[in-house]
Amino acid sequence: MHKEDQPLIFELSTPGRVGYSLPEMDVSETDLSELLPEGFLREEEPELPEASELDIMRHYTALSKRNHGVDSGFYPLGSCTMKYNPKMNENVARFNGFAHLHPLQDESSVQGALELMYDLQEHLIEITGMDEVTLQPAAGAHGEWTGLMMIRAFHEANGDHNRTKVIVPDSAHGTNPASATVAGFETITVKSDENGLVDLKDLKKVVGEDTAALMLTNPNTLGLFEENILEMAEIVHGAGGKLYYDGANLNAVMSKARPGDMGFDVVHLNLHKTFTGPHGGGGPGSGPVGVKADLIPFLPKPIVTKQDGVYKFDYDRPQSIGRVKPFYGNFGINVRAYTYIRTMGPDGLKAVTEYAVLNANYMMRRLAEYYDLPFNRHCKHEFVLSGKRQKKLGVRTLDIAKRLLDFGYHPPTIYFPLNVEEAIMIEPTETESKETLDAFIDVMIQIAKEAEENPEVVQEAPHSTVVGRLDETTAARKPILRYQKAE
């Protein structure tokens, strides 16, 4: 990585330079004052950069070198499933017949795209054990909200207007309670027990006639399988509520247990996690939602259907919650996920889960000697360590994360889930080799030793990155959210 500051593109701008080649203006032009009403012709030019193509390419290349991706090195960011993003997917998504289609052109001219969507729906139905799937939601949180809106519509259609509460475990992703709020529900938290699983007694206490749904990740955010899932389903269903599956952790159970068979009524998937849509620096994702039969009428519209070999958008869905997104979802990400599923096949997806879980357990067991392991049992695709032993030595989990940067690693997720003190959440994924895991484990062990023998080196990390620890307090107190040209 380069140590010097990288100027902003605005600081590299020189009047008179261009980086574009627009098509010829081959029609007769009319004076703009005749075409626009008075006061509508922009007077001040937007301060956009002026740079040549090479200067632009160098700028972004320099920025890319100041960024760490899965292709740069190990990225064990728990709960995010940072697995390899196959290059083939990128090529397929760029085919003109996928990348350059208009969402509103005649259905007869997009049969290939509809076929892909339909077949992806079918594959996801089988993988989740649900009865129907919509591809419309743009990301996981969007899928959560979509699923909850369907659950709300379901209860309302039954005249059940008092089901205003959504139950969420204390270990849940932050999006779960936020999605519930945005969908008009009140959130109730259910506690975890000493084994890191949902406390059934507490669950029984909080369910009732006002329960709309329980949102659950299984395995949960501690990487532990909720063994009592059938009892939980019985409790929630018995009270008239629905069971919602947060599919963020599906990588842990493919071909081993399907949400549909565990009693879930609604499930969202993060195609950018389990199914290799690249994370893109924060997005785009794709968050399809699957439902059981009784919720099908409420799916967002349209849904892709097939009749006599012809694919169609079905808009005739009177009970639908409506549209959750213009057009049909993040098609480009869906193309990548479809390519991946077809690349892996049934045996491949099974191996994915098995190796993801093997990798996680191997790391967990090797690290358990050096870091506190709050729940001593087999994990699934990820596990959570606690840095409390190191904290006593004055080294916080944040410091450990920053020290990992010096060795070229992206740190694990930290301080999540909230029910583990000084949490370090590690998800290796199945695409990492044993050598990679061993090298990372060695570094984690070295840092544990440094915490005992030479804590400053950890506390003051990172030492080798292009910038050191940044002043986040000032950033929030006196926000500078855009570049301003110096006067």
Q: Quick check: 365 binds other proteins (CB under 8 A)?
A: yes
Q: Quick check: 41 binds other proteins (CB under 8 A)?
A: yes
Q: Identify residues 194-223 at the interface with other proteins (CB under 8 A).
A: none
How many Å apart are CA 271 and CA 290, to the nearest integer?
13
DSSP state of 77: B
Query: Minimum Å distance from CB 134 to other proteins?
Result: 13
Candidates 91, 158, 376, 454; binder of other proteins (CB under 8 A) is 91
Output 192 or 392, the one with its CB closest to other proteins: 192
Output 70 or 423, the one with its CB closest to other proteins: 70
How many Å apart are CA 154 and CA 202, to the nearest integer?
26
How many Å apart are CA 424 and CA 38, to the nearest integer?
60
Q: Quick check: 375 binds other proteins (CB under 8 A)?
A: no
Q: Quick check: 5 binds other proteins (CB under 8 A)?
A: yes
Number of residues that bind other proteins (CB under 8 A): 202
Candidates 157, 230, 293, 310; binder of other proteins (CB under 8 A) is 230
Q: Identify residues 95-114 at the interface with other proteins (CB under 8 A).
A: 95-106, 108-113
Output 107 or 452, the one with its CB closest to other proteins: 107
Q: Identify residues 445-484 at the interface with other proteins (CB under 8 A).
A: 462, 465-472, 474-476, 479-483
How many Å apart are CA 398 and CA 413, to the nearest integer?
10
Distance of CA 287 to the CA centre of its chain: 8
Peptide bond into 284 cis (omega under 30): yes
Q: Quick check: 307 binds other proteins (CB under 8 A)?
A: no
Half-sphere exposure of 129 (CA within 13 A, CB side): 16
Reported as type and span, the H/E element at residue 414 is: strand 413-414
Q: Identify residues 319-348 at the interface with other proteins (CB under 8 A).
A: 321-333, 339, 341-348
Q: Quick check: 151 binds other proteins (CB under 8 A)?
A: no
Burial of 214 (0-12, 13-18, 19+ CB in 10 A): buried
How many Å apart are CA 43 and CA 218, to the nearest integer?
56
Q: Identify residues 123-142 at the interface with other proteins (CB under 8 A).
A: 123, 126-127, 129, 138-142
Output 316 or 453, the one with its CB closest to other proteins: 316
Output 142 or 163, the one with its CB closest to other proteins: 142
How many Å apart are CA 241 and CA 213, to the nearest integer?
5
Candidates 160, 313, 362, 443; binder of other proteins (CB under 8 A) is 362
Candidates 74, 76, 77, 154; binder of other proteins (CB under 8 A) is 77
Query: Minimum Å distance from CB 291 to other proteins?
Result: 16
How many Å apart are CA 291 and CA 321, to the nearest integer?
13
The CA radius of gyration of the chain, in Å to the nearest whole number, is 25
Q: Quick check: 88 binds other proteins (CB under 8 A)?
A: yes
Candidates 18, 157, 293, 310; binder of other proteins (CB under 8 A) is 18
Per DSSP, the three-state class of 269 is strand
Q: Which of 242, 240, 235, 245 is nearest to 202 (CA)?
A: 235
Q: Identify residues 389-408 at the interface with other proteins (CB under 8 A).
A: 401-402, 405
Output 150 or 395, the one with its CB closest to other proteins: 150
How many Å apart are CA 344 and CA 381, to the nearest integer?
18
The string of DSSP codes covering 159-204 is: T-TT--EEEEETTS-THHHHHHHHTTPEEEEE-B-TTSSB-HHHHH
Neighbours of 326 (CB within 10 A): 8
Q: Quick check: 309 binds other proteins (CB under 8 A)?
A: no
Helix-helix angle 140-157:175-182, to 10 degrees: 40
Q: Quick check: 51 binds other proteins (CB under 8 A)?
A: yes
Residue at 30: amino acid letter: T
Output 174 or 452, the one with its CB closest to other proteins: 174
The one segment of 57-65, 201-209, 289-297, 446-454 that binds other proteins by CB under 8 A: 57-65
Asked whether 374 and 386 are in contact (CB, 8 A), the reply is: yes
Q: Identify residues 254-293 at the interface with other proteins (CB under 8 A).
A: 254-258, 261-263, 270, 272, 278-285
Candidates 350, 388, 389, 391; binder of other proteins (CB under 8 A) is 350
Candidates 349, 424, 444, 448; binder of other proteins (CB under 8 A) is 349
The one segment of 177-185, 235-243, 388-396, 420-428 that binds other proteins by CB under 8 A: 177-185
Q: What is the largest CA-CA distance in the chain?
A: 78
Candidates 158, 162, 164, 184; binder of other proteins (CB under 8 A) is 184
Candidates 132, 160, 202, 354; binder of other proteins (CB under 8 A) is 354
How many Å apart are CA 3 and CA 66, to the nearest integer?
9
Q: Quick check: 29 binds other proteins (CB under 8 A)?
A: yes
Candidates 23, 159, 309, 318; binder of other proteins (CB under 8 A) is 23
Per DSSP, the three-state class of 237 is helix
